[in-house]
Chains A and B, each alone.
Chain A
Amino acid sequence: MTVQDIIKPENLVYEKSKLLTNKPFHYCPGCGHGTVHRIIAEVLEELGVGDRTIGVSPVGCAVMAYDYFDVDFAEAAHGRAPAVATGIKRVWPDKVVFSYQGDGDLAAIGTCETIHTCNRGENITMIFVNNGIYGMTGGQMAPTTLEGMKTATTPYGRKATLPAGAGFDGIPNNGYPLHITELIARLPGTKYVTRQAVYDPAHVRNAKKAIRKAFENQINGKSGVNFVEIVSNCNSNWKMEPVAANKWLVENMLPEYPLGDIKVDGKLVEK
């Protein structure tokens, strides 16, 4: 097969979603955001809801997500995406509304909005990308940073309590990795809560299925937050090459944040 044959329309096997613009991603090579964007766009296109979808982007690396999705978009203040999405959905209940947030946005500065949006059972889809670090500001500790993990603000590793020595041991320090997803799964307002990853093709497929369900639930339902956490990487701020970062993710992030459905159709999944 020549190159000319390969590019013939009849030989097309895969194409970029029509709901992604032609703007090149600003994300670092190896970052999970690009993949998550792609599968969201594909799902929205497959569901045929591009014309009635409104997205809400966070403050963080995905702040300019609005440039990449060819759907209407609002950029929210840090942590407030669920409130902005609530405002939109309440006055346009027939639209498909989703928020897209990172760990600092959703689980630190926006914890209040996250919990109350979930508790009200807003009929929206929330996408939560957890890479255990603040990416855009240059690698500071996130609420989901693992214990012992080195960041710009925990240069000696995150320590829940101060270590032994000088009589300070046991005094509260950086606290513990926050399992916000398990927390909101306990709220009656959440309908579907799942944790996925995009570090290899099999997990990308699973994540896409989960995102599809999270949007289908919204389209077919009247209430209940559909919440998809994606455990992702930040190879730049983890200071690793992309492949090494994904390996580290599997070995370190996944034991702390195990993958799988946590709540389906409003019922907690028995483990």
Chain B
Amino acid sequence: MGELKLMKGNEALAEAAIRYGADAYFGYPITPQSEVIEYLSEQNPYERTGMVVLQAESELAAINMVYGAGASGKRVMTSSSSPGVCLKQEGLAYIAGAEVPCVFADVVRGGPGLGTIQPSQADYFQNTKGGGNGDYRNIVLAPASVQEMCDFVALGFDLAFKYRMAACILSDGAIGQMMEKVVLPEQKARMTDEEIKAKYPWAINGRKNGTQHRIITSLDLDSAKMEEHNMNLQKKYKEVEANEVRYEMIDCDDAEYVFVAYGSSARIAQKSVQLGRAAGLKVGLLRPITLWPYPSKAIESLIDKGVKGFLSVELSCGQMIEDVRLACNGRVKAEHYGRVGGIIHTPEEVLEAMKKQIIGE
């Protein structure tokens, strides 16, 4: 059993990176996630484990430092919040095209534009549907607790290196700023340079004498090769979709109506389920943990078992609802409910929305 601590979500994310044996963090301050780089700077990880922490001149520079360090086979992370993640999209498209593993966290605030520093879930599209150019995907993990902010760092790195792609930890201002108890994992040793060279033959860290040089690039002007490269990426994404869907179901066994919610909205909807059950309503909660790949089959199986409707609860004007509806494919009703602008819905109003929009009075 690891060490039990009371921490902010952002701090747990940072501490988890050190303990995972991450090699580097490159970031730029932005509310509500500045604690990540502040905590890392305060902890002196270069002395603790040899981990490099650098405040970059911009989010653009930070993600491109991630691209370089990730391309060289090291475990590297960055984090930001919504407008900052916009700036990272350029690098993320290159990371996808060149198949560079890395972890990035988006502690979402309200938008569009500068928006607000209050919590939001309106970056769902940005992170699950792309954001940069081209046909690509990022694995998107949605923590609903400080514990998961910690745990998903390791999961994110494992998946990123398994598939050579970016893994996003998509939280929000509430999860990032709130304090909860968290069980921290044991300190892992950073991989040695020799281990990296042996394990990741694709990485650019100096070619071995007499062997072919390695190239990390997203470019190929030969259309046939570019098509083949894209098809290979799609094959990889299919594999991720087949193997890596993660979700949690609460009170869904006999449920007739199901909330679909992730992150902080899932915590609220969990209470709505309790309130609904106390009032005799057969309601449950489906909490997607991976937002991409999306647990569409879980929604299909719930419909097969008799669920009559879904309410997608999000701190946005309705983004994830599109994936819920795709999974429902018109078989049952699916609607969206959510507050925006930094206002967080209460369990009561979420339950009320379920009654009004899905169950019907």
A115 to B70, CA, bound (A): 23
Interface string of B56-73 (1 = CB under 8 A from A): 111011101111111110
Closest Cβ of chain B to A18, distance in Å, is 11
Q: B206, A84: Cβ atoms under 8 Å? A: no
Q: A88, B72: Cβ atoms under 8 Å? A: yes
Is B243's CB within 8 Å of the partner chain A? no
Interface string of A57-87 (1 = CB under 8 A from B): 1000001101101111111110010011111
Which residues on the A side are within 8 Å of B66 (C-beta)? Answer: 87
Is A216's CB within 8 Å of the partner chain B? no
> A91 with B213: in contact, given A54-B72, A74-B204 (CB under 8 Å)?
no
Is A180's CB within 8 Å of the partner chain B? no
Q: A91, B58: Cβ atoms under 8 Å? A: no
A84 to B98, CA, bound (A): 13
Is A113's CB within 8 Å of the partner chain B? yes
Is A112's CB within 8 Å of the partner chain B? yes
Q: B205, A95: Cβ atoms under 8 Å? A: yes
Q: Contact partner of B219 among A64, A80, A92, CB < 8 A?
A: A64
Q: Which residue of B lies closest to A67 (CB)?
A: B215
Q: Which residue of A lies closest to B52 (CB)?
A: A90
Q: Contact partner of A86 among B65, B206, B215, B217, CB < 8 A?
A: B65
In this complex, which of B204, B214, B219 has the most chain A Cβ atoms within 10 angstroms of its Cβ?
Answer: B204
A52 to B72, CA, bound (A): 12
> A63 with B207: in contact, given A54-B72, A80-B91 (CB under 8 Å)?
no
Which residues on the B side are within 8 Å of A72 (C-beta)? Answer: 204-207, 213-215
Q: Which residue of A lies closest to B93 (CB)?
A: A77
Q: Which residue of B lies closest to A76 (CB)?
A: B64
Q: B216, A92: Cβ atoms under 8 Å? A: no
Is A38's CB within 8 Å of the partner chain B? no
Q: Which residue of A lies closest to B211 (CB)?
A: A51
Interface string of B21-64 (1 = CB under 8 A from A): 00110100000000000000000000000001010111011101
Closest Cβ of chain A to B172, distance in Å, is 27
Which residues on the A side are within 8 Å of B69 (C-beta)? Answer: 87-88, 90-91
Closest Cβ of chain B to A167, distance in Å, is 37
Is A154's CB within 8 Å of the partner chain B? no
Closest Cβ of chain B to A175, distance in Å, is 22
Is B208's CB within 8 Å of the partner chain A? yes
Q: B206, A53: Cβ atoms under 8 Å? A: yes
Which residues on the A side are within 8 Å of B70 (C-beta)? Answer: 87
Q: A77, B71: Cβ atoms under 8 Å? A: no
In this complex, which of B62, B64, B70, B207 has the most chain A Cβ atoms within 10 angstroms of its Cβ?
Answer: B64
Is B76's CB within 8 Å of the partner chain A? yes
Q: Which residue of A lies closest to B74 (CB)?
A: A91
Chain B residues within CB distance 8 Å of chain A: 23-24, 26, 52, 54, 56-58, 60-62, 64-72, 74, 76, 90-91, 94, 98, 193, 204-209, 213-219
Chain A residues within CB distance 8 Å of chain B: 21, 50-54, 56-57, 63-64, 66-67, 69-77, 80, 83-88, 90-92, 95, 112-113, 115-116
Q: List 25 A-B contacts (CB under 8 A).
A: A52-B206, A64-B219, A71-B207, A73-B215, A73-B217, A74-B67, A74-B68, A74-B72, A74-B216, A75-B216, A76-B94, A77-B64, A77-B90, A80-B64, A83-B68, A84-B71, A86-B65, A88-B68, A91-B76, A92-B72, A92-B193, A95-B205, A112-B57, A112-B60, A113-B57
Known: A70-B207, A83-B56, A90-B52. 6 other contacts (CB 8 A): A54-B72, A70-B213, A74-B72, A75-B215, A75-B216, A95-B206
